[in-house]
Structure 1
């Protein structure tokens, strides 16, 4: 009887050991799975962080490209400069004579690309540094003296003149000038002289940017 009990106890112990060993094996396997999952999650997080970082870098690149394009377009627009204007907006008449030189204000604007010419003051202001071409025309009637100068920042660059022609008198002049941003160009009627204009715009002023510098 005692031997039988001993055998039964040994059998029961063996079975319990097998169960415990099997349980340990399952726990280890599950732990391995969890570890693998954690590693996969970590890799996914790293990949996601990399994608997000690349996406931010791409956004920055796109924004930089857009800013450069806008700057290029703005700069290109600034290089389109040209204007032309007649002295009188309407009607006919003389300007002058006056006792002191007078800036001529050309009111009849044919074109003003870039908006550099101010029809309220008669002054063209250079929007970009460059080489510019200017030309101006004057008309007078017989027996009247006409004289007009083109000025850069208040200093005479060139002039036109008609001394009491026996009939109608016309004169013109032109010049290429190197201008800095903000330089001002205008025309000035000499003292004690007259200039005439009518709807045909015989007296006019114009210029344009040849190329930027």
Structure 2
């Protein structure tokens, strides 16, 4: 009877002992996992901080690069503008009325655009010898001069300088005999694309020959 009672007691003691040993083994294992999780969490947090820092640095670099590109574009535009201004500062032309031969132009009953066909100088290519029109390539102050003349008789000689459609100054003379001449000049502020040309005054005439009596000239004084 005593032996039967002791055996279950031994089983209980062994069971309790085994449970205690398993618990003792599990506790350090769980602590290691928790420690590893803490390290991983700290590492992840550090990586997030580093990522935010790198993103901020990259954003600053991107912003700086964009500003540099904008500045390069601005400087290139300014250089192109200065180069263009340097080129268009060299604007001058001079032409006589007739390309060949001699004779009178006019008289006509209405205003008639004069085409100075014999071009002596056309620096900047702003004067059109086919239309007689000078077109301003740049905003600035331009000076123009024109000289006209004809032989005396019933018809005078007259030519008016026109800016776009506006009459500005006129050269005019009339005498009964011999050869008479007249001239005038004006400085105009022109915008890009403004046209300047000469019109023959109604009922007047002009004479020209190989000696170039009737001429039209102009040049850029300075840009504005």
TM-score w.r.t. the length of structure 1 is 0.71
* Cα distance per residue 1:4-43 (max 9 Å; x no partner): 9567765554343223222321222122212222322232
State the partner residue of 1:92: 101
Q: Pick closer, same or farther for the CA change 1:185–1:59 going to 2, 3 Å.
A: same
The question of 1:36 aligning with 2:40 is answered: no
TM-score w.r.t. the length of structure 2 is 0.68
Conserved? CA contact 1:133–1:209, under 8 Å: yes
Pick from 200, 203, 212 the counterpart of residue 214 of structure 2. 203
**Gapped regions of structure 2 (runs ≥ 5):** 1-8
* Cα distance per residue 1:95-118 (max 9 Å; x no partner): 245353644311112233444433
State the partner residue of 1:158: 170
The question of 1:111 aligning with 2:121 is answered: yes
Q: Which has the larger radius of gyration?
A: 2
Pick from 132, 137, 150 the counterpart of residue 142 of structure 2. 132
In the TM superposition, residue 192 of structure 1 has moved relative to its aligned partner by 5.4
Give me the whole-angstrom Cα distance separating, in 1, the residues matched to 2:101 and 2:46.
95
The question of 1:51 aligning with 2:61 is answered: yes
**Gapped regions of structure 1 (runs ≥ 5):** none
Give me the whole-angstrom Cα distance separating, in 1, the residues matched to 2:140 and 2:222.
6
Conserved? CA contact 1:151–1:188, under 8 Å: no
**Equivalences for 1:51-70 in 2 at 5 Å?**
51-70=61-80
CA RMSD of aligned residues (A): 3.8
DSSP-derived class of the 1:134 partner: strand
Q: Pick closer, same or farther for the CA change 1:207–1:38 going to 2, 3 Å.
A: same
Give me the whole-angstrom Cα distance separating, in 2, the residues matched to 1:106 and 1:96.
11
